[in-house]
Structure 1
Amino acid sequence: MAERSANEVAKIGVIGVVHETNTFAPGLTGLDAFRKDWIVGKEAFCERYTGTKTSMGGVIAACQELGAELFPGFYTQATPSGLVTDEAFGAIVDGMVDSIEPGIDGLVVILHGAMVAASYPDAEGEILRRVREKVGRELPVAVTLDLHGNISPEMVGFSDLTVIYDTYPHIDPYERAVEAVYLLNGTVKGAIRPVQKLVHTRMLVAPQAMLTSSGVMKEMMDIAFEMEKEPGVLNIGVAGGFPYSDVADAGMTFVVVVDNDAALADSCGKRLRAAAWERRERFVVRQAEAAEAVELAVRHPEGPVILIESSDNVGGGSPADATHLLPHLLAAPKKSLIVIRDEEAVRQAAKLGIGAVLEYAIGGKSDDVHGEPVLVRGLIRTLFDGNYRHIGAYMTGQYARMGLTAVLECGNVTIILTEKRVAPWDPGHVKFVGLIPEQFHMIVVKSAIAWRTAFGDIAKHTIEVDTPGCCTANLHRFTYTALQRPIYPLDEIQ
């Protein structure tokens, strides 16, 4: 591709798919899961995402700032869940590739980094391979990735620029997309010549250890930020990885992007790997058993106390119907709040109506790992269609859909029953059903870290809970078959 002069208008294309695949989660993810965000063409893309603090909104804003002409193609996304079917993957990748406009000068590909399809363990590597087949080797391609991406050599090899979220909870997708577009524009104009280096740490890290505002992950981010100040370094991406995808390249990685200096990229990668390995033991998460966790929370003088049930982390692909904590909450003397997905129960509540009493065995219906149904009896306080927009710091303005939703009051326990899985990324999932989170002594969050964008500013104390589930922080609970070994902490490595 011929370089464009500084005064010429760059033509920037954008396509994407975002799915975080938990290969240990029950069920498969088919096309229907992606239909709620099935965006084709410029008009639909801009109408949906202009003004939102999303990756898509960032691409739109950056092109406007640069005076670049934007050519959106196909974009879709789905809530984290189980293995993606080949039918869904085929339709999505074909839609992406076919929608790339001819004659563009550069392409942004919005991906997650931990998508797994039945026949394509490295789904994003396959997507980028097919993109390259379509656009050729010369067209600059920039990729944005989630911090939880399992980054493969193919993903880096088929792209020119990789920009990864710097935050968890993820409050910077917009900013990282803007950065990616600016770097892509510089590449198109010939101002920079990116060289990438991928480094794997041989460490498997649970998301519960990836909080970027404090602790060991913040230390790694600070090292990367300091490295980005060095001459010639364009971007340092720190990917904690996603241990719930059993794929060869799962684990913590770094992507170093420099300006035409392979030796510099190699040097930065070695320093980052050494820093991570030195801190490896601090990435291991400590938790309390369910009964102990509730007892500790009850004894705490102030609430809300956040009970972090990360084994049922919706943002990691879990079924959102785990009941391991529910019996202990029902027996506790202080007010608590929990969200549980149960389509049958919420439909029964809708039939009975507001003010009626629902007696029903709820939750624990997805598999035999996330607990058994628990019989509850409670007053139906609210019914809600489940549709709202994010009002908090995470992807402000993003659409959210809980499906049919009922608020059930069972003594000291308030249960939000939802038809669909809902991650606690935004306070809207509580406030839009008329609840005030500060009024609860205990709040159960089916999340690892991202709950902080909903409740972080009101939490008086947090307790990590060790319960079975497909997103548990105890990685020894899983049987990996595809993961490259050895890897810490599953194996002893000298």
Structure 2
Amino acid sequence: MEQPKRNRPYAIGVIGVVHETNTFAPGKTELEAFRGDWVEGREAFVGRYRGTKTSMGGAIDAAESLGLELRPGLYTQATPSGMVTDEAFDAIANGMVDSIEQGLDGLVVILHGAMVAESYPDAEGEILRRIRGKVGPDFPLAMTLDLHANISPAMVERTDLIVAYDTYPHVDVYDRAVEAVGLLKRMLNGSVRPVQKLVHTRMLVAPQAMLTDAGAMKELMELAFELEKEPGVLNVSVAGGFPFSDVADAGMTFVVTADGDRELADRCGETLRSAAWERRERFLVRLTEPAEAVALASRHPEGPVILTESADNVGGGAPADSTHLLPHLLASPKKSLLVLCDPEAARLAAKVGIGGELRCPVGGKTDDLHGEPIPIVGRVRTLSDGNYRHIGAYMTGQYARMGLSAAVECGSVTLVLTTERVAPWDVGHVRAVGLSPEQFHIIVAKSALAWKTAFGDVSKLEIDVDTPGCCSGNLSRFRYEALKRPIYPLDSIE
């Protein structure tokens, strides 16, 4: 029964940290990696995120439309990368907890779901433990998660509401935050009593198989949407998981939230588990060797052809300097585009200047897994500070930084050399250096599927390439130590 009207609006806090941690990636993630998006307090939060199609923008708009008083605390994020140091994690987690104001009625926590710190494999679970230590076990708490979250039992036990993204590429992050705030208000006014059910499929899925516009993942999403129509079901979250975090609970999971009805949540969860298992073979990824991929792309009559090098997926924590494809591109007569993170080469290009000749090795400087430096001779065509805002469907309005960047023509290949890693989530990362994707027959996207929000509208063909790297779609390349076994397809399960 809904409670009587209040004399003041409900006050809700919003805090968060988003980091997708690749435990196979080289290096550690220090606190400095988060400083570029470190926002504290209402004025800074609203100033940065109002009008953006981000989770934060969704929280702002939903609170205003529902008559809630929004009190933001600390929010920060960093580009996906390697293991987060304990020093960085403690600073962020404790900073978030300290930023929760007194007198709140509820809290929205914006997390990723696949963050891993040196001493905390379930980083989100630990963050929630610390939050509960401050606000208490019964305080209304809603959480948003990425579709690639590895959802643990602790994450479910320490929240009242979990709302995960429904799309990959992630074009609904704003909407899911709006949904989470709306459900939290319904909980606050007593109109719903959420109970949650977590189901693990015992399936480990590569990101390339999680496209929500087609195939098996689309079918699971459609089933989830049908279940959400049942009376008493508040939300069904389908999390494909993040296979590059070697943690116990990695893999595809579902969270069903029902209104006080645990049996209903259990039944819906088992329906989804069965549906996923029936489709398990359709979640396997098929990849093409680099030489063959470039040859196929070169023969295709129309471009751009997108070569997806998911093994060097920046959005999955990879270093963005893999050179396994570069020799094959240099041997092709077709115009091609490759973005490499190489601070040394980018700074040298700036020193040479526009129109100058650049002679140096590029890429392959992080580790042996992602290739070796390739000597190039090219002409510097443009230089940029690398700052831009997203203009496409993914997090429209979000700020992005490539650092000092140079476009260098090396015969048929145009290299974009950056000082910061940048994921190809938005066409702005190409336009920021004065280029257009339509200029090229071949574009290498260091991504699994999220590149579609940058190049999906111009792509004439896409080819998934099998190169070595810390985000390979070939999961048998990885040595898992913490992952709970058995799990498909690494193990045989009846």
TM-score, length basis structure 1: 0.99
1:78 aligns with 2:78: yes
For residues 330-345 of structure 1, what are the structure 2 equivalents within 5 Å? 330-345=330-345
Deviations 1:413-432 (A, max 9, x none): 00000001000000000112
Distance in 2 (CA, whole Å) between partners of 1:6 and 1:204 is 47
Deviations 1:246-290 (A, max 9, x none): 000000000000100000000000000000000000000001000
Map of 1:138 onto structure 2: 138
Map of 1:92 onto structure 2: 92
Map of 2:432 onto structure 1: 432
- Counterpart AA for 1:82: G
Map of 2:366 onto structure 1: 366
Map of 1:448 onto structure 2: 448
Map of 1:197 onto structure 2: 197
Distance in 2 (CA, whole Å) between partners of 1:188 and 1:3 is 9
For residues 341-356 of structure 1, what are the structure 2 equivalents within 5 Å? 341-356=341-356
Post-superposition shift, 1:5? Answer: 3.5
Q: What are the ranges of 5 or more consecutive residues in structure 1 without an aligned counterpart? A: none
Distance in 1 (CA, whole Å) between partners of 2:362 and 2:493 is 44
Preserved contact between residue 149 and residue 239 of structure 1 (Cα < 8 Å): yes
Post-superposition shift, 1:6? Answer: 6.4
Map of 1:36 onto structure 2: 36
Preserved contact between residue 4 and residue 188 of structure 1 (Cα < 8 Å): no
Cα distance change, pair 3–123 in 1 and its aligned pair in 2 (3 A): farther
Post-superposition shift, 1:461? Answer: 0.4
Deviations 1:315-372 (A, max 9, x none): 0000000000000000001100010010110111111111100011000000010000
Deviations 1:188-247 (A, max 9, x none): 000100000000000000001000011111011000001000000000000000000000
Map of 2:165 onto structure 1: 165
Post-superposition shift, 1:11? Answer: 0.6
Cα distance change, pair 4–165 in 1 and its aligned pair in 2 (3 A): farther
Q: Provide the secondary structure at the position in 2 that maps to 1:466.
A: coil
Q: Provide the secondary structure at the position in 2 that maps to 1:107.
A: strand
Preserved contact between residue 55 and residue 174 of structure 1 (Cα < 8 Å): yes
Q: Provide the secondary structure at the position in 2 that maps to 1:492.
A: coil
1:467 aligns with 2:475: no
Distance in 2 (CA, whole Å) between partners of 1:26 and 1:61 is 38
Map of 1:294 onto structure 2: 294
- Counterpart AA for 1:177: A
Preserved contact between residue 15 and residue 75 of structure 1 (Cα < 8 Å): yes
Map of 2:107 onto structure 1: 107
For residues 179-258 of structure 1, what are the structure 2 equivalents within 5 Å? 179-258=179-258
Distance in 2 (CA, whole Å) between partners of 1:3 and 1:255 is 27
- Counterpart AA for 2:114: A
Q: Provide the secondary structure at the position in 2 that maps to 1:45.
A: helix
Distance in 2 (CA, whole Å) between partners of 1:406 and 1:377 is 14
Cα distance change, pair 479–3 in 1 and its aligned pair in 2 (3 A): farther
Preserved contact between residue 6 and residue 189 of structure 1 (Cα < 8 Å): no
User: Number of aligned pairs?
Assistant: 493
Map of 1:483 onto structure 2: 483
Q: Provide the secondary structure at the position in 2 that maps to 1:270.
A: helix
Q: Provide the secondary structure at the position in 2 that maps to 1:320.
A: coil
Map of 1:46 onto structure 2: 46
Distance in 1 (CA, whole Å) between partners of 2:446 and 2:46 is 32
Q: Provide the secondary structure at the position in 1 that maps to 2:459.
A: coil
Preserved contact between residue 71 and residue 101 of structure 1 (Cα < 8 Å): yes
Q: Provide the secondary structure at the position in 2 that maps to 1:408.
A: strand
Post-superposition shift, 1:138? Answer: 1.6
Deviations 1:88-107 (A, max 9, x none): 00000010000101111110
1:177 aligns with 2:184: no
Post-superposition shift, 1:4? Answer: 6.7
- Counterpart AA for 1:68: L
Map of 2:382 onto structure 1: 382
- Counterpart AA for 2:63: C
Post-superposition shift, 1:439? Answer: 1.5
Map of 1:23 onto structure 2: 23
Post-superposition shift, 1:8? Answer: 4.6
Q: Provide the secondary structure at the position in 2 that maps to 1:154.
A: helix
Q: Provide the secondary structure at the position in 2 that maps to 1:256.
A: strand
Map of 2:410 onto structure 1: 410
Preserved contact between residue 387 and residue 399 of structure 1 (Cα < 8 Å): yes
Map of 2:260 onto structure 1: 260
The runs of at least 4 aligned residues of structure 1 exceeding 2 Å deviation read 2-8
Deviations 1:368-406 (A, max 9, x none): 100000011000001100011111110000000000000
Q: Provide the secondary structure at the position in 1 that maps to 2:465.
A: strand
Distance in 2 (CA, whole Å) between partners of 1:119 and 1:470 is 21
Preserved contact between residue 169 and residue 449 of structure 1 (Cα < 8 Å): yes
Post-superposition shift, 1:44? Answer: 0.5
For residues 273-352 of structure 1, what are the structure 2 equivalents within 5 Å? 273-352=273-352
Distance in 2 (CA, whole Å) between partners of 1:421 and 1:114 is 19
- Counterpart AA for 2:266: D
Distance in 1 (CA, whole Å) between partners of 2:4 and 2:458 is 51
TM-score, length basis structure 2: 0.99
Preserved contact between residue 4 and residue 190 of structure 1 (Cα < 8 Å): no
Distance in 1 (CA, whole Å) between partners of 2:437 and 2:444 is 11
RMSD between superposed Cα atoms in Å = 0.9
Q: What are the ranges of 5 or more consecutive residues in structure 2 without an aligned counterpart? A: none
Deviations 1:125-176 (A, max 9, x none): 0000111110011210000000000000000100000000000000001000
- Counterpart AA for 2:202: R
Q: Provide the secondary structure at the position in 1 that maps to 2:53.
A: coil
Distance in 1 (CA, whole Å) between partners of 2:312 and 2:175 is 29
- Counterpart AA for 2:277: W
1:401 aligns with 2:401: yes
Distance in 2 (CA, whole Å) between partners of 1:341 and 1:7 is 55
Q: Provide the secondary structure at the position in 2 that maps to 1:251.
A: coil
1:57 aligns with 2:90: no
- Counterpart AA for 1:387: N
Preserved contact between residue 364 and residue 372 of structure 1 (Cα < 8 Å): yes
Post-superposition shift, 1:68? Answer: 0.5
1:392 aligns with 2:387: no
Preserved contact between residue 23 and residue 83 of structure 1 (Cα < 8 Å): yes
Post-superposition shift, 1:3? Answer: 6.2
Distance in 2 (CA, whole Å) between partners of 1:4 and 1:38 is 39
Distance in 1 (CA, whole Å) between partners of 2:78 and 2:333 is 38
- Counterpart AA for 1:294: V
Distance in 1 (CA, whole Å) between partners of 2:63 and 2:20 is 27
Preserved contact between residue 192 and residue 259 of structure 1 (Cα < 8 Å): yes
